[in-house]
Structure 1
Amino acid sequence: MLLLTLLVVLLAQGLSSLIWLSQLRASQLEGLVASARSLAHSMSASVSYFRSLPVAYRPMVLDQLRNMGGTRFVVSLNDKPLDMQVLPITPRKQAVLSAVGEVLRQRLGAQMDISLEFVSPQDLRIFNSGLKLDELPRSWAHYALTLEPVNPPILVTQIRLGEGEWLYIASLMPEPYTSLEDEGLPRQQVWFIGLTSFFLLLFIGLLVHWQSRPLKRLAQAAREMSLGADVEPVVEGGGSEVVEVGRAFNAMRERISRYLTERSQLFSAISHDLRTPITRLRLRVELLEDEQQQARFSRDLDELEMLVKGALQCVKETDIHENIEPIDLNHALDCLVEPYLASARVTVQGRALAPYPGKPLALRRCMGNLIDNALKYGERAHLRVIDSESGFVLQVDDEGPGVPEQRLEQVFEPHFRLAGQQQGYGLGLGIARNIAHSHGGEVSLRNLQGGGLRVTLSLPRSSD
């Protein structure tokens, strides 16, 4: 949200700044042309004055102007136009040259031979001798043509007055058009964009943090509730939508809690109600004189009792009411595999890096079921622990025949057994997966290429 907001702010500020800059440049160009026309009128007046003077008086007037200093123009008379290195033409320079040339030809006549060009102060020449600006007396030209340390371009106008007589006029454009360069965004505008973006992002960041705090509390409560912990009602806060989510979560929490309580009471009642008639039927079977009938009834009762015990065990094993606490998984695994280490039926590779927050008895039963299942159907169990910041992974490989690919998911169903398997209730993998799901994890199966089955228990670590 912050990145998208920053992008939108920068796009909006950039677009508005470009529009403002284009309008500013248009107004500056308009002012520049007006200043250039005013400068051209002054030049034409100076040219008209010199043309009105007798030829012999013109050098005398020039000497007086140089001795006074501080004039707007630097004027000289040369016998030919001076050749200097011209600056590259930019749109602003071209606008000035066009405006000045137009005014001069209007005031002096279209037949006048006029040369207009921009020259840098370093390449400027004023007399036929080719003296540089720095070589002249300061009162002659420096006050009119220097603006250190900017060194702006100098407009050089050379007008032919007669045969072998060229009037030379050098001048600067008036402020604020001295440099004649297209400037980018002013520094004040850049600071304005940066400050407004910073304060806007700061405000939005505080707003997002204020809105996300209730969501973080809701996520933590949902995780704890998924682990079976007794969760207090979530404090309803934040925006109206977030308050509505918190209210809905509290209602769901209350319904689930009521459902779990009713389910526990229901299975307790079923357990009590079923054990009594089964026991009563066993007593009656013992009174039968026909041994064959007695054996058949006993076998049916055994099967019925096994189904009842299996169902109750499934509920009991997956509904363990424990507090969530940090678990030393290394210690839990050591306790589970210790009885088999002497016979070399179990090997362990890798160690857990940090305690895992969960239900101790439930996770121990989950890993114990996976190890027992591998030993029961695969003779040996090879355990590999892979732990990282993202989660804990336990791989249990056996040396058994594996499971057909089409049965990999079916073996998690209660009471399901593969052909030739008659041990237990067929609940171990299902109970292990249910415990993993209650911790936000998963139990998956994969047949190994060299034979055997790999059971993987994956438990994610919370990012809180």
Structure 2
Amino acid sequence: MDKIIGYLRYQSIRKSFFIIVFIMAIIVIMLSVGTVGICTRIHDNILLSKAFVINPVEINPSNDGTFKVSGSIVEENESDTYTDREMMICRITEVMIIICPLLFSFLGIWCAGSIFYHIKLKKPLLLLNQGISHISLNDLEFSFDYQESDELGCLCSAFEKMREQLLENNVQMWNMIEERRQINASVAHDLRTPITIIKGYSEYLERNLVKGVMAQDNILDIVIYMKQAANRLEDYANSVHDVQMLEDINLEYADVELIDLYNEIKSSLEIIEQELGKQIKVINNLPNISVYLSSTAVFRILENIVRNACRYCENLVLVEISLIDQNLIITTTDDGKGFTEQDLKKALNPFYKDKGQRDHYGIGLTICKVLSQKHGGDIFLSNVQNSGAKVTVKIKVK
């Protein structure tokens, strides 16, 4: 029995339904035929036992040498000799001959439906109902344990994928909220200094200009300081705007020859090398094929991670470009001090800056993170033993 149930569990709903109905139909037919046969035999035995009587027969010789038979051995019994018990049994059997097939049919339908429900429907429907209840309570920390490959198994698998996607979306949403909170906190902190400078100098001018005790040179110096603080505010506001715009950017994809991409990358890095006065070495491991990607995103990512490496290196930045499993891998390694433990945890956060750097706004690696994730990849930070920092960017290509 367990083997039959196990077999039915792995069949499609349609096939399982027909198998169960077919088996129950055979059982109903067998029970109906057996019951009708037994009732008919009982009914006929009672009727036939009283329907005829056996009379004696007379055999007389005739003149021509033959024998003449007179009378009948069997003849109808015209007398009413049935007992009440026999009549009741006859009526019951007549009713059973009509009722039993109908009763067995209804019982067969009920049994087939009940068996089909318990084998094929009960568990997946219960799991789906529980899943809907969890989702309605914003609880996505559950999973479906239903491994059958029938239609409801496919439905449960699709429901599980939907749950995983909802959970992933919720995690991303909370990460975005946390990033926004960090951005707001960073903006509030970094804007405080230029605002304080502008406010302090404006109050100083307000007090001393009225008294007429300030020289023209001092006034000019203060105006220059205030302008520098205002420029810093403007640059910072532009940086915040750039980070927010990245979340809504749409990448433009196109077929790109990797050999052409490498030549353009090499030319761009030569310009950065001359601009920053650092040595940039490129290792090309790209095959000579065409891939589908956003070259704009690739160049922007590459420029940010290379400039970031040049900012912290002693003299050399090594850039390696490869194509592995439909992923464009860009790795930069510098000969600097490497990432600190805090850098490894927070360097990808917007506006993160270590204590020794004040000449940038800490959005370069954030830009790389957003663009690589929009391109189906990600960015990873690590340190190289006996060397400096290592940044690996993975970009999905087709």
Higher helix share: 2
TM-score of the superposed pair, with normalisation by structure 2: 0.41
